[in-house]
Amino acid sequence: MRYLIHKLLLVSLFFLLGCPRRMSPIPAPLRRHEALAHYNRNVESIPPFRASIATWELRFYDREGDKRDFNELFGKLFYRPPVRAERPAKFYLEASAPLQKGWVVGSNETEYWMYSPWGGGIGYWGKYEHYGKDCASLVPMHPQVLLEFAGLLPLPIKPPYPLYKVRSETYIIEYVVLKHEGYSSKREIIVDRRSNLPREINAYDADGLLLMHSDLSKYKPLEEALLPTEIFISFAQEDSFLRLKISGYQLDPKNREPLFRRPARISGITDYQQIDQDCENE
């Protein structure tokens, strides 16, 4: 009798806990051009969307060098794919707390901007025609960098071709950026072999030190695209990070042009800097 009871308890526990989920088998490895094509096909199939941010965390350092930590519940995200592949995407990300904006990052096809009333009332903006020039300062959170490290920008497919490695569960795609003075930086994209979607994206400087890192997970479908709902981006040398948990993506055919128009003045922002003003004077 005792043996029978023990057996029934084990069977009940088995059904309560459920069977362990088996991982799908790892498919045969893709060639480099196939992996790049799959990555870019997913990005190119992203439709106009809106998304709600369930929770967000942010750590950054203000102009006095003091660490600021936030963990809040509200936010929204809007995206419009570029009209042409070489143009920037339209992008608007607003992370909020009850009754107030925490920070905003925005972009249209010609300009980008960022501001935060919590960061000392500072705002930044610049023009894409000057982006990457030595005369342009770096903005703390560039919209195209956010898209890149969320796996939402296409990868270059023209020479010089990336290095490509096949691992047991991942592909590793490496781009080395060369400037006139020599090796400058490296991008490393780690792609899951089962899903063909990016797990991690890393950026390294010329000395091999990690500059930025992202973890991407819990992808959800939207039309023919798959989009990450958990995004973690860290800035290694500054101990800063951004974590977004997105509750879901929805098609958004509405006209959102006011969101994608750079504001000339912003309430609560007393220092609104054009970061590439020196380029205008050249």
Structural domains of the chain in order of their starting residue, each with its CATH number: 29-280 (2.50.20.10)
With CA atoms as reference, report the closest residue to 92 among 58, 61, 115. Answer: 115
Round to whole Å and give the CA distance between 253 and 259: 14
Average pLDDT over every residue of 68-78: 91
Question: pLDDT category, 181, cuts 50, 70, 90?
Answer: low
Question: pLDDT category, 8, cuts 50, 70, 90?
Answer: very low
Residue 223 region, left (φ>0) first, then alpha (ψ -120 to 50), else beta? left
Q: Is it true that the peptide bond before 160 is cis, omega within 30 degrees of 0?
A: yes
pLDDT value for 195: 95
Question: pLDDT category, 17, cuts 50, 70, 90?
Answer: very low
Question: pLDDT category, 20, cuts 50, 70, 90?
Answer: low
The pTM for the full model equals 0.87
pLDDT value for 135: 92
Decide if pLDDT at 98 tops 90: no
Round to whole Å and give the CA distance between 230 and 153: 17
pLDDT value for 182: 67
Decide if pLDDT at 96 tops 50: yes
In the structure encoding, which two tokens stand for residue 237, read together?
């040398």
